[in-house]
Chains A and B, each alone.
Chain A
Amino acid sequence: MNAQFEPIIGRYLRLNLLGKPHRLYVEEAGQGIPLLCLHTAGSDGRQYRALLNDKELLENFRVIVFDLPWHGKSSPPAGWEQADYQLTSENYVSMIMDVVDALELDKPVVMGCSIGGRIVLHLALEYPEQFRAIIGLQAGAHVDPYYNLEWLHRPDVHGGEVCAGIVSGLVGPNAPSDARWETLWHYMQGGPGIFKGDLHFYKLDGDIRERIAEIDTLRCPLYLLSGEYDYSCTPEDTLEAAKRIRGAQATIMKGLGHFPMSEDPEAFLGYLRPVLKEIIG
């Protein structure tokens, strides 16, 4: 195999988030309409590696992916050791909008998966005019806790092993082996307590059931794509959300799980391309 660089440029962005200086890792590739991608809980931007390498996509879109603070190559802020990490809706929205401003993105498309799929529903409510379109992957209004989250962060259980163990079945059964294990590797690399801290938003703080019907898709189109084998945000959760949001378009992706862009990029792109085509118009 000849050595070659991918088209992705990765850089560190210095900016203030939530009143503190941060060092955020940002990757991008392509040109055109900005497409800002949000990773899942306890993982990082590598989940979007296939999109960042997709020639056809990069002709029309500037794909931008950042690692949330505490995730991937983004550092936690100074003083992080003094408190447990816990993501909230308010902080998550604020960080995303600060990144949009810092990168001077003009009406980007925003696409998020899982916690990212939930937060884009919050963005659809609060900032519809700022986005050209919103895509929620594995997006639902609420997820009930179904196991004790304490297992995810305790010194007598290896965090990387247990986080990968928790999510391994969320990968669809037919995912290619290399993409499946790459997806799990990201989970194995998460910092202690970070997946758990993200799930605070996902399972408790970010419940948006009460307000979801207020989303106005005339102000910003909303697309929901969910994998058939996801038992965290189930296809029923997504269809229920779509039913309550007038004008939302929902598609259930056959055979896929909770990490479509990472576990089986080719199958996922088959579902994403028509959506992006519609967005381009």
Chain B
Amino acid sequence: MLPIEQLMERANANARLVHRGRFVDTRFLLEVGDDTYLVYVHAGRIEKIEKGPFVMPRWTFALRAAKEDWQEFWQPLPKPGFHDLMALVKFRRLRVEGDQHPFMANLLYFKGVMESLRTVEGAAA
């Protein structure tokens, strides 16, 4: 699995993805097993990623899943049921909490952001 911090570089390098998210201004919590991250998005670009643990985190929505589920999601060709955020939701592996409005209104964008950690290297680092 690539370090979560690479999410910023990879998502921002995709000009079409940034354009898709041009109206997105939000901060969301990403939970990867025991680790938590706050992802700050402005105008479709990830501006910073803070690593927890946090004392009093503020976020609009949270994406929470087990580390091994995210690991499979980020495989170059994930197994059926692990290949998409809504697939993870369907099988109760991903919980989407909080105010889901920005997430649902920009679903293709957030799918693209999370899939940007998917690499040919697969489970490295």
**Residues of A with Cβ closer than 8 Å to B?**
146-147, 151, 156-158, 161-162, 164-166, 168-170, 173-174, 228-229, 231-232, 234-235
Contacts and interface: CB of A to CB of B under 8 A. Distances in A.
B86 A231 contact: yes
B89 interface: yes
Given A156-B101, A156-B105, A173 B83 contact: yes
Interface in B74-100: 77-78, 80-81, 83-87, 89-91, 100
Interface of B: 77-78, 80-81, 83-87, 89-91, 100-101, 104-108, 111
Contacts of A228: 80
Contacts, number: 56
A168 B84 contact: yes
A162 B89 contact: no
B104 A169 contact: no
26 contacts: A147-B86, A147-B89, A156-B101, A157-B101, A157-B105, A161-B106, A161-B107, A162-B104, A165-B104, A165-B107, A165-B108, A166-B86, A168-B84, A169-B83, A169-B84, A169-B85, A169-B86, A169-B87, A169-B111, A170-B84, A173-B77, A173-B83, A174-B77, A228-B80, A231-B84, A231-B91
Contacts of A170: 84
B121 to A, nearest CB: 17
| 10 tightest Cβ-Cβ pairs between the two chains A and B | A169-B84, A165-B107, A231-B87, A146-B90, A165-B108, A151-B104, A157-B105, A231-B90, A229-B80, A169-B86
Contact of A229 (B83, B85, B89): B83
A157 B104 contact: yes
Contacts of A147: 86, 89
A146 B77 CA distance: 23
Contacts of B107: 161-162, 165-166, 168
